[in-house]
Amino acid sequence: MSLRYLTAGETHGPQLTAIIEGLPSNLELDFEALSFQLQRRQKGHGRGRRMQIETDTAQIVGGVRHGRTTGAPVALVVENKDWKHWTSVMNVEPIEGGDEAKRRVHRPRPGHADLNGGLKYNLKDLRNVLERSSARETAARVAVGAVARQLLEKFGIQVAGHVVSIGNVEAEAPNLPIDELIRVTEESPVRVADKAAEQRMIELIDKTKEEGDSIGGVVECIVTGVPVGLGSHVQWDRKLDGRIAQAVVSINAFKGVEIGIGFEAARRPGSQVHDPILYSEEKGYHRASNNAGGFEGGMTNGEPIVVRGVMKPIPTLYKPLPSVDIDTKEPFTAQVERSDACAVPAASVVLEHVVAWEVAKAFLEKFGGDSMEEIRANLDNYLRQVAEY
């Protein structure tokens, strides 16, 4: 059975719940590291007041005993601290009272799932759509990805994320070893290594917020230590770059994805795109450059995976765009209570975790076994074969 997960839960409901199936037994989990990843997602200049209410932690309620996975499904819970303000509005049982008591939403916000979801599911209270479509759900995905990340780390695979640009402010490409990149970006309120760009990004976010607007950006994820041959060229849905692309665009507000130099490849001649193959005793086969972002033929080529995602500006605006009331069909401009002006730094953490998940899934497809020991033996055997090739 391949690795899979599902999440459930609403942004103002009691909790987010995730179930992971297909993890091997004897994976030692660091619980603090799981919550650390969740808290990284909550940070970043430009986040709104909701993040002052929440301090996310991952509680494991199944599949782990005495610090190790048992091979059973792993169940994870992330509580919503804000729920105490919403117990009546989000009650699973019917409640007394009209629209006000239910905080019924009948004014769809442009750029959100509100209107499409209302039409599709025939829901006259758009809260039923927005509660689930909220980016709060990415907390569950980070929890799940953080488990995958710990599995990868046991095999020397590391994941880092950083912000490439916010609005029109671009950071210089960080030419740093992965440990250093992780350390430097962790200290930055906008998750960039470039200090000059950091200052300009903060100023841009502040200005955007003052104007009642929001701003998006580009985030990048790098995965090092990946063995050659994850994914496959033989079938469309086994191409790992394609699976990663799907996962990236599935992150709330993501509208685009690039692998390696991505769209830049369309502007260059082939001689300046493809990465020459080299060989040395020490490194074996490797590449002179990594424009391909670690993929050829849908398979990893042993170079670091480099993936970028494009996040649109958050559509909840203090200065909202025109829309139409679903009760009256009349135009309106709504009042907004609370929003994030920029969630791009947080999105880089989400990107890391959805990519880690896809890599872990492909890793288990290749080296799969029911226990960590079996997987290690399979990996060692394969690496020997690659070294002798």
Q: How far is the CB of 50 from ligand EPS (least distance, A)?
A: 3
Q: How far is the CB of 78 from ligand EPS (least distance, A)?
A: 9
Q: How far is the CB of 190 from ligand EPS (least distance, A)?
A: 16
In this chain, which of 76, 105, 139, 215 binds ligand EPS, going by CB under 6 A? Answer: 139
CB 42 within 8 A of CB 54: yes
For residue 276, count CB atoms less than 10 angstroms from its CB and return exposed for 0-12, middle for 13-18, buried for 19 or more. exposed
Nearer to ligand EPS, 48 or 369 (CB): 48
Tell whether residue 134 is a contact of ligand EPS (CB under 6 A). yes
Tell whether residue 169 is a contact of ligand EPS (CB under 6 A). no
Q: How far is the CB of 90 from ligand EPS (least distance, A)?
A: 12
Angstrom distance (rounded) from CA 60 to CA 62: 6
Tell whether residue 136 is a contact of ligand EPS (CB under 6 A). yes
In this chain, which of 316, 320, 355, 357 binds ligand EPS, going by CB under 6 A? Answer: 316
Stretch that binds ligand EPS, among 128-136, 141-149, 229-237, 352-360 (CB under 6 A): 128-136
Tell whether residue 48 is a contact of ligand EPS (CB under 6 A). yes
Beta bridge partner(s), residue 4? 21
In this chain, which of 66, 267, 329, 338 binds ligand EPS, going by CB under 6 A? Answer: 338
Nearer to ligand EPS, 247 or 372 (CB): 247
Angstrom distance (rounded) from CA 328 to CA 317: 22
Tally the residues of the chain: 389
Residue 262: Cβ within 10 Å count: 16
Tell whether residue 127 is a contact of ligand EPS (CB under 6 A). no
Stretch that binds ligand EPS, among 21-29, 132-140, 160-168, 373-381 (CB under 6 A): 132-140
Nearest residue to 354 (alpha-carbon basis) of 39, 41, 10: 41
CB 44 within 8 A of CB 342: yes
> How far is residue 51 CA from its own chain's centroid?
17
In this chain, which of 10, 22, 45, 50 binds ligand EPS, going by CB under 6 A? Answer: 50
C-alpha distances out from residue 4 to 19, 35, 204, 230, Å? 8, 21, 39, 17
Judged by CB under 6 A, how many residues of this single chain contact ligand EPS?
11
Angstrom distance (rounded) from CA 23 to CA 379: 16
DSSP string for 220-246: EEEEESPPTT-S-SSSGGG-HHHHHHH
Nearer to ligand EPS, 275 or 340 (CB): 340
CB 105 within 8 A of CB 10: no
CB 172 within 8 A of CB 192: no
In this chain, which of 7, 11, 165, 185 binds ligand EPS, going by CB under 6 A? Answer: 11
Nearer to ligand EPS, 77 or 362 (CB): 77
Q: What are the residues binding ligand EPS (CB under 6 A)?
A: 11, 48, 50, 54, 134-136, 139, 316, 338, 340
